[in-house]
Amino acid sequence: MEMVEEQQKVRKEKLDRLIELGVNVHPDKYVKTHTLKEAHELPDGTKDVSIAGRVMLKRKMGKISFWEIRDIEGKMQLCLKRDELGEELYTQINQTTDTGDFVGVSGEIFTTQTGEKTLRVKTFTFLGKALRVLPDKFHGLEDQEMIYRERHLDLITNDDAKKRFLLRFKFIRLLRNYLDSHGFIEVETPVLQNKASGATARPFITHHNALDIDMYLRISPELTLKKLIIGGFEHIYEIARDFRNEGVSPNHLQDFTMVEGYSAYWNYEDNMKFLKDMVQTIIKELYGTLKVEIGDKTVDFGGDWEIISFKDLLLKDSGIDVDKFETAKELLDEIKSKGIKLDAENLEQLGRGNLIDQLYKKVSRPNILGPVYLIKHPIDLSPLARANDEDSNLTDRFQLIVNGQEIINGYSELVDPIEQEKRLLEQSKLKENGDEEAMDIDYEYIKAMQYGMPPISGWGMGIDRFIQFLTNSSNIKDVVLYPILRPEIDNPNKAKEKE
């Protein structure tokens, strides 16, 4: 701690020295001609190149110094010569600039004898002082909690982190481009809602002071988006921040980013074809191939994707035919008789649908490499999905499973308001009996349905989870810039370390 304070003191003294010399230590702007990545591609002899970045490395060798500056996508070596800058400025620069500081420089591009593309500095502008010492450039942050808590430092010192997040944002851009180019309109719907509806999940509850009512952070924009289809839109999507007050795991977030899309006049099979093409297009743009290496596995998104029914998958993996058990109690007894231990704590309170889902997550999903389309889910598991015409106990639903994770969930929508009200009332009874993930009934949505709905198919994709898969990240927090953490003041171990 004393060493850190001494280092900060020295850096503050350098800042004071710059101010005494009349340097504007907080300029309002700096005009660049190129990013560092662009400058690195310029031919030797290119003059009047202005770039800026954070100083990451300094090597002074008498009359000449070599520095390295970086930005989010690139780096560039700088060559500072005493004879070109003048002895006074050259000395001042080396004595008052630290690693971590921001600088702007202009000059001429050349390549050193070792093959390093370099800018020979003609003019120098100080842009910002780092009063704290950066983590070691070669090791970066090593404490995982600190990486999540101070992602800005992780980005400064870890090239892999930069690449991971640049891939995430390129993925979202390609996703938008694909949907926009296929006639979809991006819309926005409320985050604060009167009902916890649109998915089976435990909600976050907040209070609206002006209206003096409790409200819910949305667990899904689904019902609101379907109201817009009622209103006349045909193809819409939303990249939505959703909130589910559920347990912490390496594959789940309590606040996460999803994209949901809805199409009038389509059924679930139309969406399966559409989304296959969308995923393949994005993967090819990202990697130049449809084969994605994930650790020691290869997932091939090309060719035909396997399609399997929910019933057949569970029968194969557990030996249980779920159609033979009409109640949750009967099914739970069968699961126990097979010696299968489910992870949920409130098994006795779960409805049949959520119990089937827990069985699937235990015995089947972790073993799927994929890509696999899982179809024909039990109706108990899908209260908003259309019943299958041939078997009313099943739904016209699909899930895309890749490497043991659900990437996309979609179905032909239930558009019958009478049947929808019946199913949501059943969900409400389950909630009253202790199933916290069951839905509330939303009469505003039922009323909207009564104005008439066309055939609709919708889908949702968890962006965080797909990026976790693409980057082979062991924890979903690795692909979120600033995941939720307990405040440091509430962590007694961290408090002791600071003492």
Per-residue pLDDT of the chain (499 residues; tens, 9 = 90+): 677 888 999 999 999 999 999 999 999 999 999 999 999 999 999 999 999 999 999 999 889 999 999 999 999 999 999 999 999 999 999 999 999 999 999 999 999 999 999 999 999 999 999 999 988 755 556 788 889 999 999 999 899 999 999 999 999 999 999 999 999 999 999 999 988 777 777 889 999 999 999 999 999 999 999 999 999 999 999 999 999 998 888 888 999 999 999 999 999 999 999 999 999 999 999 999 999 998 888 999 999 999 998 889 888 889 898 888 888 888 888 888 888 888 777 788 888 878 888 888 888 888 899 899 999 888 877 878 899 999 888 899 999 999 988 899 999 999 999 998 988 888 888 777 777 667 778 889 999 999 999 999 999 999 999 999 999 998 999 999 999 988 876 555 554 444 4
Q: How many CB atoms lie within 10 A of CB 362?
A: 17
CATH number at residue 194: 3.30.930.10
- Out of 78, 110, 128, pick the residue that ends a domain: 128
CATH number at residue 115: 2.40.50.140
Same domain, 87 and 207: no
CA distances for 133 relative to 66, 88, 101, 136, 489, angstroms: 20, 26, 10, 9, 23
Residues 487-494: contacts with CB under 8 Å, at least 24 apart: 488/149
Q: Is residue 386 part of a domain?
A: yes
**What single string gives the DSSP state of each residue in 424-470?**
HHHHHHHHHTT-TTSPPP-HHHHHHHTT----EEEEEEEHHHHHHHH
Which of 216, 241, 286 lies closest to 482 in space, CA to CA?
Answer: 241
Residue at token pair 């990437």:
407
Same domain, 106 and 194: no
> Rounded CA gap, 393 and 329, in Å?
18
Same domain, 177 and 300: yes
Same domain, 96 and 233: no
Type and span of the H or E element at 107: strand 102-111
- Report strand pairing: 204-208 vs 192-193: unpaired
pLDDT in tens, 223-272: 999 999 999 999 999 999 999 998 888 888 999 999 999 999 999 999 99
Q: Is residue 325 part of a domain?
A: no
Q: Is residue 424 part of a domain?
A: yes
* Token pair for 483: 């995941």
Report how many domains make up the chain: 2
Same domain, 458 and 398: yes
3-state helix, strand, coil in the chain (%, to 5): 40, 25, 35
Same domain, 381 and 239: yes
Q: SS3 of 146, please?
A: helix
* Token pair for 184: 């979809």
Q: How many CA atoms lie within 13 A of 39 on its CB side?
A: 33
**Residue 198 in contact with residue 222, Cβ under 8 Å?**
yes
Q: Is residue 14 part of a domain?
A: yes
Same domain, 265 and 410: yes
- Report strand pairing: 291-294 vs 235-243: unpaired
Q: Is residue 405 part of a domain?
A: yes
> Rounded CA gap, 235 and 180, in Å?
10
Same domain, 271 and 181: yes
**What single string gives the DSSP state of each residue in 307-356?**
EEEHHHHHHHHHS--GGG--SHHHHHHHHHHTT---S-S-GGG--HHHHH
Q: How many CB atoms lie within 10 A of CB 452?
A: 9
Spell out the residues 6+ positions from residue 334 whose beta carbon is closer than 8 angstroms to its own: 320, 325
Same domain, 262 and 375: yes
Q: SS3 of 420, please?
A: helix
Q: SS3 of 160, please?
A: helix
Q: What is residue 490's predicted lDDT score, i.e. its pLDDT? A: 55
Residues 413-417: contacts with CB under 8 Å, at least 24 apart: 413/226, 413/262, 413/384, 413/385, 413/386, 413/453, 413/455, 413/456, 413/457, 413/458, 414/384, 414/385, 414/386, 414/387, 415/386, 415/449, 415/453, 415/454, 415/455, 415/456, 416/449, 417/446, 417/449, 417/450
Same domain, 42 and 182: no
pLDDT in tens, 116-150: 999 999 999 999 999 999 887 555 567 888 899 99
Same domain, 112 and 166: no
Q: Is residue 363 part of a domain?
A: no
Q: What is residue 1's predicted lDDT score, i.e. its pLDDT? A: 64
**Residue 253 in contact with residue 405, Cβ under 8 Å?**
no
Which of 395, 416, 442 lies closest to 203 in space, CA to CA?
Answer: 442
Q: Is residue 362 part of a domain?
A: no
Type and span of the H or E element at 170: helix 159-181
Same domain, 185 and 284: yes
- Out of 105, 128, 151, pick the residue that ends a domain: 128
> Rounded CA gap, 270 and 275, in Å?
9
Question: What domain range includes position 392?
Answer: 159-305+370-488
Q: Is 499 exposed, middle or buried (0-12, 13-18, 19+ CB in 10 A)?
A: exposed
Residue 231 sits at φ, ψ, to 5 deg, of: -75, -10
Q: Is residue 358 part of a domain?
A: no
> Rounded CA gap, 372 and 100, in Å?
47
Residue 264 sits at φ, ψ, to 5 deg, of: -70, 145
- Report strand pairing: 235-243 vs 185-186: parallel
